Amino acid sequence: MNRLKAPPLSTDALREAVDWAIATRRSVRAYLPRPVPQEEIESILSMARFSASGMNMQPWHVHVLTGEAKARLSAAIAELDDDPSRLPELSEPYDYYPREWVSPYLERRRKVGWDLYGLLGISKGDKQRMHVQHGRNYRFFDAPVGLFFTVDRELQEGSLLDYGMFLQSVMVAARARGLHTCPQAAFLKFHRQIADLLKFPLGQMLVCGMSLGYADESCVENTLVTEREPVCTFTTFHDIAKETRV
């Protein structure tokens, strides 16, 4: 891709296409068994590598799992997840979520959780069905491709910021190819076991996992559309000239 290339579409069509890819990216939690050709996966990563990173550090490293490799990893993690006695062995490589949930994040977290469980007919307190649904994470929701993203442990928080841009680019590039994704922090508590199973080079830390594939639109969980706050609730426009003009 020539990065100085002129847009391939008119201004309106271009905006519509880019906006469509961003807005239709949503977390899909049920996939068709239809395989994703390796060239398609490479093409997505080849676009995502154009993401910005401080000092062009490009701190990303991707592990792509399909077929037997994905099945073996999923089975090993599912076995651990189903065995409460192994819980004390688990730890997370970094704090992704806050240690204490406060407003408004607590309410947003609860809403998305109950909206998903509500669609699936899982009632509050049905711990067994919640465990089973959560466990679908470890099978990548049956997606044909599982991705793991790692970063050099030596790097700082800024590299996680860069990583977020890369992950979004992967997800948006997937949409442009008719594919869907679900980023997954659920794998973090198994980071040590995943590092062993996939033989991560020493010093590489798991950032997150991701499902990639074609959505099974017949599954009710894929009808979940999460809400967003309007721009005015999170934006402050500063225009000193305007403020002093009055």
Ligand X SMILES: Cc1cc2nc3c(=O)[nH]c(=O)nc-3n(C[C@H](O)[C@H](O)[C@H](O)COP(=O)(O)O)c2cc1C
Instruction: Locate 61 and state its tokens.
Output: 């490293």
DSSP strand pairing (180-184 vs 145-152): unpaired
Pick the closest to residue 29 from 96, 117, 129, 95 (CA basis): 117
> How far is the C-alpha of 200 from the C-alpha of 204, rounded, in Å?
6
Provide the mask over 29-68, with x wherever binding to ligand X is found by CB under 6 A and - wherever it is not. x---------------------------------------
Judged by beta carbon, residue 24 or residue 38, the one nearer ligand X is 24
- By the rule CB under 6 A, 226 interacts with ligand X: yes
Q: Does 147 bind ligand X (CB under 6 A)?
A: no
**Biggest distance spanned by C-alpha atoms of the chain:** 68
CA distance 116 to 110: 10
The span from the CA of 148 to the CA of 44, in Å, is 14
- CB of residue 12 to ligand X, shortest distance in Å: 25
- Does the footprint of ligand X cover residue 183 (CB under 6 A)? yes
| Options 27, 51, 150, 193; binder of ligand X; rule CB under 6 A | 27
Q: Which of 48, 208, 212, 215 binds ligand X (CB under 6 A)?
A: 208
Which range of residues in 35-43, 57-65, 84-92, 178-186 is near ligand X by CB under 6 A?
178-186
* E strand or H helix that includes residue 184: strand 180-184
List of residues contacting ligand X (CB under 6 A): 26-27, 29, 112, 137, 182-186, 208, 226
